[in-house]
Amino acid sequence: MVSVENPLIMNIIRGLIGVVAVILFLSLNVLFLTWLERKVIARIHVRYGPNRAGPYGLLQPIADMIKLLTKEDIVPEKADKLVYNLAPMAAFLFALMPAAAVGIGSGLIAADIGVGVLYIAAVSSLSTLAILMAAWGSNNKYSLLGGMRTAAQSLSYEIPLVLSMIGIVAIVGSLSTQDIVAAQSQAWFGIIPKWFIFYQPLAFIVFFAAVVAEMGRIPFDLPESESELVAGFHTEYSGMKFAMFMFAEYIHFVVGSALVVTLFLGGWHLPIISPLVENLGWIKYIVQAGIFVAKMYVIIFTLMWVRGTLTRTKVDHVLSFGWKGLLPLALANVVITGVVLSI
Amino acid sequence: MSVGEQYITIALFVIVGAIFPVLTIFVASLLRKPRTPEPQKYLTYECSVLPFGPAWVQHNVEYYMYALLFVIFDVETVFLYPWAMTYRSFGLFATVEVIIFIAVLALGLAYAWKKGALEWMRGWR
């Protein structure tokens, strides 16, 4: 009989609670997002959007899920079966991994590893691998083209993404997402928050553009530009395997927005309200998580708005924007931050 | 939990993240589904025409140019993070060093730019 006091067992139990909590949080948000995205885009297009299943069509995600669960799973006979079947699983795994180091409240984090930001940057680039696996395994021209484009795009935007975080890391002196948010807790005159968007406006622009490209959303949705590549890398997938790709994509959406909030928008801090709940025990955590999720949805809504407004960019423009626009800006931001901090 | 012990959670994330989709797809495969096997269904999709030639063909080298540049600049960022963490203890000296480092790499970027490595499909123009 293993003692409950065994620290390893305790750590594993705590870790498992973290994993389950993160998957639950992501699943609920993803379900809600699939509805919200369709509704918001519909309203922008002056349509109604889903409005049959439940009030305001809120049960639509459930209906979609049942449909995907009961759909026939087709594997093309010419596909590389092993790679084809592994790709959706890899997509989910690599989408889930960065979420481990993103917290939604002080202490409300699954794994507060010291190298948080660097870990997120490292594992988030792995999802390119899953997309390439799907692209190659499908043995389909559209998939392969989409996968190749994705590889070129996410490689190009990975660098500005990582470089734009250096300024913040230099200011905070820590890579942990908890420390980065804690550094933004103060406010000038108690009203104007000391968020890093005000300290690092250039980095914010670069990071925001890069994170949208990493998510593969409009205006950078070349991986699955449906008008030219059918559906890009997941053309051949159906049923639950397709669902895994969609799940992974929306997890990227949630985690990317959460990262923007964590790094630039003060995380779970809000002037006036945050100091009030500081000593209220468990209410503090609920308020913090609420503030964080609210900010996250502001970013998410902005991105949906962008999707409803802008068109897709051409592949050559996307790549030259990354290399000739964002990369020099990100490098300049590092130099400026270094000079300002050293003086 | 100490910082080192947090990695147990990361390991659990990998394990659960690997098992979860396998389980979901397995459970979904147990459900009763319409099964109407037709040979056409398992053909590669190509906008309703019969697949024309294989998809695994030689691919444009343009994509690999970006991969090469990526390696260079990604290694650069890895060098910049230690500086960002410790610039306080080294002060101005380290900052000057880093600016020289970035200048050298910016020169490399300018060279690649000039040579047209950042142009898409340059061989086709």
pLDDT tens per residue, range B37-91 = 777 777 777 777 777 777 777 766 667 777 788 888 888 888 888 888 887 777 7
pLDDT, mean over chain B: 79
Nearest to A120 by CA among A293, A258, A327: A258
A67 inside 8 A of chain B by CB:
no
Interatomic CA distance for residues B104 and B119, integer angstroms: 21
Alpha-carbon distance of B9 to A18, in angstroms, equals 7
Mean pLDDT confidence for A50-59: 85
Residue spans of the domains in chain A: they are: 79-342
Q: What pLDDT was estimated at residue A257? A: 92
Looking at the complex, does the CB of residue A175 fall below 8 Å from at least one CB of chain B? yes
Of all residues in chain A, the percent with pLDDT exceeding 90 is: 16
> Do B66 and B109 fall within a single domain?
yes
A122 touches chain B (CB under 8 A): no
CB-based contact A230:A236 (threshold 8 Å): no
User: What is the rounded average pLDDT of the residues A74-96?
Assistant: 87
What average pLDDT is seen over chain A?
Answer: 85
**B101 shares a domain with B68:** yes
**Domain span including residue B71:** 61-124
b/e A175-203 (16+ beta carbons within 10 angstroms → b)? bbbbbbbbbbbebeeeeebebbbebbeeb
- Are both B109 and B66 inside the same structural domain? yes
Share of chain A above pLDDT 70, in %: 97
In the predicted structure, residue A60 carries a pLDDT above the cut 50: yes
Q: What pLDDT is recorded for position A254?
A: 92
The residue of chain B nearest to residue A231, with distances taken between CA atoms, is: B45
**Segment A252-263, tens digit of pLDDT:** 999 999 999 999
Mark yes or no for CB contact A162/B74 under 8 Å. Answer: yes
pLDDT tens digits, A106-152: 877 877 888 888 888 888 888 888 888 888 888 888 888 888 888 88
Interface confidence: ipTM more than 0.85: no
Q: Are residues B69 and B114 in the same domain?
A: yes
Helix, strand or coil, per DSSP, at residue A74: coil
pLDDT of residue A1: 46
Q: Identify the closest residue of chain B to A80 by CA–CA distance.
A: B56
- Provide CB contacts within 8 A for A61, sequence distance 6+: A31, A32, A34, A35
Q: Which site among B7, B29, B45 would you substitute to test the A interface, given the most A Cβ atoms closer than 10 Å to its Cβ?
A: B45
* Strongest mean pLDDT among A8-17, A226-235, A261-270, B57-66: A261-270
Tens of pLDDT, residues A17-29: 888 988 999 999 9
Chain A positions in Cβ-Cβ contact with residue B18 (cut-off 8 Å):
89, 93
CB A150 within 8 A of CB A135: yes
In 10 A of CB A102, how many CB atoms? 23
B44 to A139: CB separation less than 8 angstroms, yes or no: yes
Q: Where are the alpha helices (DSSP H) in chain A?
A: 7-44, 60-69, 81-99, 116-124, 127-138, 141-164, 166-172, 177-182, 196-199, 201-215, 226-229, 239-264, 273-276, 282-309, 315-320, 327-342
CB B31 within 8 A of CB A110: no
What is the least distance, in Å, from the CA of A239 to any CA of chain B?
A: 8
Element (H, E) at B63: helix B62-90
Q: What is the pLDDT of residues A180-205, one digit of tens each?
A: 888 888 878 777 888 888 888 899 99
Residues in chain A closer than 8 A to B5 (CB atoms): 7, 11
Beta-carbon separation of B118 and A324 below 8 A: yes
Nearest-CB residue to A159 (from B14, B70, B102): B70
Cβ separation A334–B33 shorter than 8 A? no
Any domain includes B14: yes
Residues 6 or more apart whose CB falls under 8 angstroms from that of A268 comprise A104, A105, A106, A181, A274, A288, A289, A291, A292
Per-residue pLDDT at A269: 84
Total domains present in chain B: 2
Q: Do B44 and A76 touch (CB under 8 A)?
A: yes
Mean pLDDT of all residues in B14-26? 88
Q: Are residues B30 and B69 in the same domain?
A: no
Lowest mean pLDDT among A67-71, A143-147, A307-311, B28-32: B28-32
Contacts of A328 in chain B (CB under 8 A): 106, 109
B55 found inside a domain? no
Lowest-confidence segment of A278-287, B37-46, B99-108 by average pLDDT? B37-46
Is residue B49 domain-resident? no
